[in-house]
Amino acid sequence: MSRSFAIADTCFLIDWARYRGRDLLFKLYVVYVPESVLREVKSESTIAWIASRLASGDLALFTETESEVEEARSIVERSRRMPNMPGVDLPEAVCIAVGRRRGYVVLTENRGALKFVELAEDYAGVTIHRSLEILLQLQLRGHLRPDCGDPALRFREYEEDTKHLFPRKDLLNAVAVIRRELCGEAQEVGGA
């Protein structure tokens, strides 16, 4: 199966640089890194990982156009006007704008970005994948071996390496998919 194009924000890249299976990401995606995101990265180890993956062609630098930056600024402003929602910052907004314009998958953990795409009808077609969805897909596609004795193990390893905790409900749903699809466990009916 061919890899999809994706565009990643800063926090996503920082987390993945810490993860022991970080290069598995490129089994699923060719990842673009906007210049605005690259400017935010300060960690030497993250910079070294990004540089090595740029050299290999798994990561590619993305230069934002003026119109993409203008659209991103509009996203930032709109997100700040939406009640009860975390705002979207410019680098994440660039990823959303590019995701909409080019059909790239947006790689982020940013709650504001997730919520914005959910609430803004004109951005409903933008696909956002968090690390949780990526780890699930890596297992479903055979790139990361599941542990049927402990179906939460691969997610927990990521949490331990990155100190990024997944929302429990989402994690339980992903573990249920692993149990059902890869471990052959029947789904309980009626909650007995």
Splitting the chain (192 residues) into consecutive groups of 10 residues, what average pLDDT does each group show?
Answer: 90 95 97 92 93 95 96 96 91 96 96 94 96 98 96 98 96 97 72 41
Q: What pTM was computed for the model?
A: 0.92
The reported pLDDT for the residue numbered 84 is 86
The pLDDT value recorded for residue 32 is: 97
Could you give the maximum distance between any two Cα atoms of the chain, in Å? 57
Q: Return the pLDDT at 191.
A: 44
